[in-house]
Each structure stands twice: as C-alpha cells, then as structure tokens.
Structure 1
Amino acid sequence: MTTNSLQELYVEQLQDLYSAEQQIIKALPKMIEASQSDELSSALKEHLEVTKKQANRIETICQELGEEPENEKCKGMEGALREGSDLVKDVAEEVRDAAIIAAAQRVEHYEMAGYGTARTYANLLGFEEAASMLEQTLEEEKEADQTLSDLAEELNVEALEAGRSAEGEETEQGTERGARAKKSASRGKRAA
C-alpha cells in the first residue's frame, strides 16, 4: 500500500511504535531475569510498567483517529531486540549487565526517534492532545535512557574490573600450566 499523506504516515508511525512497545513488553521480563544487579532489575521492572502505559496511550490516540493500533510487526525493533538477546546470551556472566544496558539503550534510542517523529507529525496535523501524549512518552524514554546511562557508569566499571580479574586468573593459570609443562619436559630430557 502506498502512503499518500502525512496523516497516513503518522498512523503508520503510531502502528510501528505500538508494535515496538508490544515486543518490548515481551522482551523486558527476559532482560530482568538475566540481570544480576538489583538496581538494573528494578529499573527494568519500572520501565516495563511505563511501557504498558505507553502502549495504552498509542491505543487511545489510534481510537481517536478511528484506526487500529495493530498492523505489521516493527522490524526495526525486532532486529534490535534479537541483537540484544544474542549479545546477552553470548557474554560472560561478569559483563552481562553491561550487555543488557547496551541492548536496552539501543531500544530506547530507537523509541526516542520514533516518538519524536510521531509527535512532530501530530503537531503539524493539529492533533494537540496526541502530540502532548507523545511528548510525555518521549520524555519518559529520555528518563529511562538517562537511568540506564547512570547505571552504566557503575556497572560498566564493575564489568571492567571483573574482566581484568578473570584475565589475571587466566594468565596466572596459563603461567602455572606453562611452568608445569616445562618441568615435565625437563624431567623427560633428564630421563632420556
């Protein structure tokens, strides 16, 4: 279907955002379960509740337009969430929270771009109440992003220190193995 007007584009943006929010609602519990930090887990739980309210706002806006909020699946969010899920699965426990934050911030930035665009369209089309609701959501996304940035400052340092500690243990174990191998080799030479 060809989009012929700004209003049609606006509705498509709303539907895309609605799909994104529905996907996030399904993904956040997995991120909460995977997180190790109580602060991160709490922030994600809080954002899950906010996300449900944001989806309800989109439903309200779409109802006022006489449109259904559900349409095609948001492929951008699907990709961002899949990448985030893969990243979290593929990292060591010591850096998992840092990976969760990285994935969550990508999601937040995608949403901020979408909500900023939808709000602008609503303003241009004269939908002041919808624009206000979209602005509220945009501000919530910015707050969530800032919370994640604040958590990252602490948790990324912990991940760095844990990584250094793990590298040191690996180096130490490697050195011990190397020393044992040298002793074993020299014993073998003496016996020959």
Structure 2
Amino acid sequence: MTLNTLQDVYKDQLQDLYSACKQSLDATTELGRAAEDKELSEALIAGANGISAGIDELKSLCAKHDIDPDGEHCKGMEGLAREARSHGIEQSFSDNDARDAMIITQYQRMVHYALAGYGCLVAFANRLGLGEDAAVLQRMLDETYDGDRRMTHIATEGGINKEAA
C-alpha cells in the first residue's frame, strides 16, 4: 500500500502497533513466568493484561477504519521480543536478582517502543480530527506509561537493582 496522506500513515501505524502488542504480549507473559521476584512477576502479569486490553482497543480502531489489524508485521517488536527472550529467559544467570534486573530491562525496551507508537497515533488522531480515537489511544498511552513507571519503581525502590549489584 502506498502511503499518500496522514490518514494512510495513521492506518498503517494502527496495524503496526497491533502487531507489536501481540508480539510483546507473548514475550511479557514469558518474562513474568521467569521472574523470581513476586512483585515483578505480578507487575508483568498486570502488564500482559494491559497489553491484551490494548490489543482489543487497537483491533476495534482498525475495524472502525475498515482495515485488517493483521495487515502489518512489526519487525521492530519482533527483534525486541527476540532479545527479551534471549537476554531475560534463555541467558544463564547465577543470580536471580540479576535475571530480574535483566527482565525489567527487556520489558521496558518493549514498552518504550509501544510508548512511541501510541504517542504518534495520538498526535495523528488529533491532527485528523479523530477525537474518539485520540481519547482511546491517549488512555492506552497513559496506562503504558503507568506500567513503565511501575517497573522503574520495582527496579529502584523495590530493591532489585540494589540486590543485583
């Protein structure tokens, strides 16, 4: 598909973020199972639930604009999810706190990709006069920021980084 207008870019990026979220959902679930720290594991489960809700919202937005949500494959998230598994799950660790610190790192990399996607989509929706879309996307952006801040808190205030050091 040739992208000629901001509307075309908007639709393309809805599909891309849908694909990204689907891929990060599986990786986040796996990271949650691998986490040793109970608070971290619970936060990752909550993160997976948030990602799942985002997938549903993005699917609804795609339907509203008559586009197939599966019309794009996000290669960026494919790489991030592969790295999350490689470094957070498959990597050998002799210390569980070090593994948990790595899990947070890998999760936050995926989250930051989603933050960029949601942020751009909010801006596009606002410019295109799609107020309802913008409100949904802004809510998802805010929830994603909340998850990111929770991970930072677990790493720093929760003590994982301190214990891993």
CA RMSD of aligned residues (A): 1.0
Indicate the residue corresponding to 1:127 in structure 2.
130
Match of 1:114 among 97, 117, 126: 117
Indicate the residue corresponding to 2:147 in structure 1.
144
Q: In the TM superposition, what is the alpha-carbon distance from 1:91 to its structure 2 partner?
A: 4.3
Q: Which amino acid aligns with 1:52?
A: S
Gapped regions of structure 2 (runs ≥ 5): none
Indicate the residue corresponding to 1:90 in structure 2.
91
Q: Which amino acid aligns with 2:161?
A: N
Matched, 1:50 2:50: yes
Q: Which amino acid aligns with 1:30?
A: E
What's the CA shift string for 1:40-92, capped at 9, x where partnerless? 00000111111111111111111111111111210110111111211122241
The TM-score normalised by the length of structure 1 is: 0.81
What's the CA shift string for 1:94-124, capped at 9, x where partnerless? 1100000000111111110110001100111
Match of 2:162 among 154, 157, 165: 157
Q: Which amino acid aligns with 2:82?
A: R
Looking at secondary structure, tell me which structure has more helix per residue: 1
CA distance in 2 between partners of 1:20 and 1:78 (Å): 7
CA contact (8 A) 1:91 1:99 kept: no
What stretches of structure 1 move > 2 A for 4+ residues in a row? none
Q: Which amino acid aligns with 1:148?
A: M
CA distance in 2 between partners of 1:73 and 1:92 (Å): 32
Matched, 1:41 2:41: yes
Indicate the residue corresponding to 1:61 in structure 2.
61
The TM-score normalised by the length of structure 2 is: 0.93
Matched, 1:19 2:19: yes
Gapped regions of structure 1 (runs ≥ 5): 161-192
Aligned residues: 160
How high is the sequence identity, in percent, across the aligned residues?
Answer: 38
CA contact (8 A) 2:28 2:44 kept: yes
CA distance in 2 between partners of 1:72 and 1:132 (Å): 23
